[in-house]
Amino acid sequence: MKKIINLITGLLVTILISPASAQDYSKYSEDALKKILKEIAVVESKVLMPMRDGIGLSSDIYRPKDAEGTVPTIFVRTPYNMNTLRGTTLRNTVEAVSRGYAYVLQNERGRYFSEGKFEILGYPRTDGYDALDWISGQSWSNSKVGTIGCSSTAEWQHGLAAMDHPAHAAMIPQASGAGIGRVGDFWEHGNWYTGGVQRILFFIWLYGVNNPLRAEIPAGLTPEMRTRISQYNDLSTNKPSIDWETQISHLPIQDLLTSMGEPEGTFEEFVSRTPASPGWFEGGLYHDNEPWGVPGLWFNSWYDVSIGPNMTLFNHARANGVDAEVRDNQYVVAAPNPHCRFASLGPDFVVGERNIGDTSFDVNGLVYDWFDKWLKGDEDAMDPETPHVQYYTMGSNIWQGDDQWPPVAAEQVKMYLTSDGNANSLYGDGKLSFNAPSGNGSDSYDYDPMIPVKTIGGGDCCNGGIVTAGAFDQRTIEARQDVLVYTSDPLDEPIEVTGFVDAILHVSSDAKDTDFAVKLVDVAPDGTAYIIDDTIFRARYREGYDKKVLMEKGEIYEIDMTPMTTSISFEKGHRIRVEVTSSNFPKFARNLNTGGNNYDESEGVIAHNTVHLSAEHPSYVVLPIVR
């Protein structure tokens, strides 16, 4: 019986390692996957890949055991713990090797078993480049390398793409907004800002990732000894758990982490910067004055942190690639999931509180079609009719395709904020209309930074659990008097909004500086108000992020908000809603309204803010409507 079982197991492994078999490994247990990997892979563990300055980056290399000739490489580089293969990383490794790829996992400089000092994005232009030199120079390599990863495992790829390394044949950045510095209208600098307002997620993320007190092992150990150590000590950190719901309100912001006993690190360096500080242009971030040298397959999400910069960078790569081949080979998939949850797309997909239908998409199939084309030279691997832009339209709950973003058919249409002077709260008289105002309307509210409007849903991630991303009902927020609510009449027919959604406000305040926050909402017939997207802007930057221009009491200013980005069909009987207020906390840091630095202040003042709705000073949103 034992011989029969071994024979069956051997046959199963033989079938699984065939590149043409394209097995679905999602149903296999970890024990089964590890057994398969042992049968099909040559493994080199904890190899110190040399960088130009002598630092070694810890790398685990998995190669097809019985490969004939050289093989292409899929390269995954990350700041996160991958010491022990498990979960998705294990499945991805097995699949790549079974399809005939070498699979290289590497920790960034200063993380876990890699030497050197940590820096966000891990020196993509030098360490990333040197890694491609090393991989493409190995006897088993066919000199074609593809990069892939989600979140911080993707974001370093942008800076590397600017280098146009000859071995960098293709890339798949997924949910990679934190690798983007300045692109077009967006000066978010790795999600640190939206509209010049600091996003709080990175405050919390840095607590977990930036570890000045990290443990290290002695230099000069053999790979075998390094591997042995890794089997019982993965050099991971176990920092004290934090009640972020309470701690996130700490003022001044600059002491948020040190007040808990943390040593100073990256956070304290970044928190005092402005959007135009030179430091943002000296690290690993990609900026739109750089070249773009690599074909890209992008995966982005409507309910992620930086969908706007991601789609804008996709457009930038299509327009500014180093040659026609690069420009013509940029593709993007925009899905309705939160951050990095591409593998969970499927029937009855729920995002937040909303079921948005069957979102099924063959992510894995497209990934390997892409790599087979660029790394193996299989020109027929990817369907030539694949749209450059594939996006899921919520509401109508369908996948659509187009040759550009926004879609060719999108028409810019204004909807104006109107009222009889009392749009305060859901119970006010605010209206959203296609008709421009003819009178002299306005709405006012008091913004107290000590009682900010609470974040409920929307696009976010990586924030210690203080915000859950997705489509959540906003009515508890809309009940507040410091939230202006403007709602259309019920729609007689569906209206599809797909593209960048601009918001233009004319405002005044008695404060020297304050913020304005806008939210786009889909109101169902039963009144449920699902958030679609939101944005915010700091008034001091209305003339440019490289300037600080304070407000004067009684003066009216135009605020051109950072665009929102989505695809939503407001269905028949639904209503389109826009909210305006001055805070969205704890997603965004509060403006204390003093005109000062904010990050080093503990006391705020109440701002009396007005949104103007007149013919001379209208406030409106610009919707990309696909008719």
The DSSP-derived string for 522-535 is: EE-TT--EEEEEEE
Are the C-beta atoms of residues 392 and 399 closer than 8 Å to each other?
yes
Question: pTM of the predicted model, to two decimals?
Answer: 0.94
Residues, the chain, total? 627
Q: In the prediction, which pLDDT does 22 show?
A: 65
- What gap in Å lies between CA 124 and CA 38, rounded to an integer? 31
Are the C-beta atoms of residues 359 and 335 closer than 8 Å to each other?
yes
The DSSP-derived string for 14-67 is: HHHT-GGG---GGGS-HHHHHHHHHHHEEEEEEEEEEPTTS-EEEEEEEEETT-
- What gap in Å lies between CA 399 and CA 567, rounded to an integer? 10
Q: In the prediction, which pLDDT does 173 show?
A: 98
What is the DSSP pairing of strand 515-523 with strand 495-509?
unpaired
Q: In the prediction, which pLDDT does 2 show?
A: 34
Q: In the prediction, which pLDDT does 229 show?
A: 83
Quote the percentage of the chain above a pLDDT of 90.
Answer: 86
Q: How many secondary structure helices (H) and strands (E) does the chain include?
A: 13, 28
- What gap in Å lies between CA 420 and CA 431, rounded to an integer? 9
Encode pLDDT of 425-462 as tens digits.
Answer: 999 999 999 999 998 999 999 999 999 999 999 999 99
Average pLDDT per 10 consecutive residues for the chain, totaling 627 residues:
35 39 81 95 95 96 95 96 90 97 96 91 96 98 98 96 98 96 95 97 89 75 84 78 94 96 91 96 95 98 96 97 98 97 96 98 97 97 97 98 98 98 97 94 97 97 94 98 98 98 98 98 98 98 96 97 98 98 98 98 98 98 97
Encode pLDDT of 80-139 as tens digits.
Answer: 988 889 999 999 999 999 999 999 999 999 998 999 998 999 999 999 999 999 999 999
**Domains of the chain by start residue, with CATH:** 2-190+285-290 (3.40.50.1820), 410-626 (2.60.120.260)
Residues β-bridged to residue 626 = 410, 496
Which conformational region is residue 159 in: left (phi greater than 0), alpha (psi within -120 to 50 degrees), or beta?
Answer: alpha
Q: In the prediction, which pLDDT does 215 show?
A: 73
| 20, 26, 31, 36 alpha-carbon torsion, rounded to 10° | 10
Extract long-range pairs of 32-40: CB within 8 Å, 24+ residues apart.
Answer: 33/90, 33/91, 33/94, 34/85, 34/90, 36/94, 36/98, 37/62, 37/85, 37/90, 37/93, 37/94, 37/97, 39/13, 39/65, 40/13, 40/16, 40/64, 40/65, 40/94, 40/97, 40/98
For the chain, how long is the longest CA-to-CA vector? 89
Q: In the prediction, which pLDDT does 588 show?
A: 98
Q: How many CB atoms lie within 10 A of CB 414?
A: 15
Q: In the prediction, which pLDDT does 8 show?
A: 34
Element holding 410 (H helix, E strand): strand 410-418
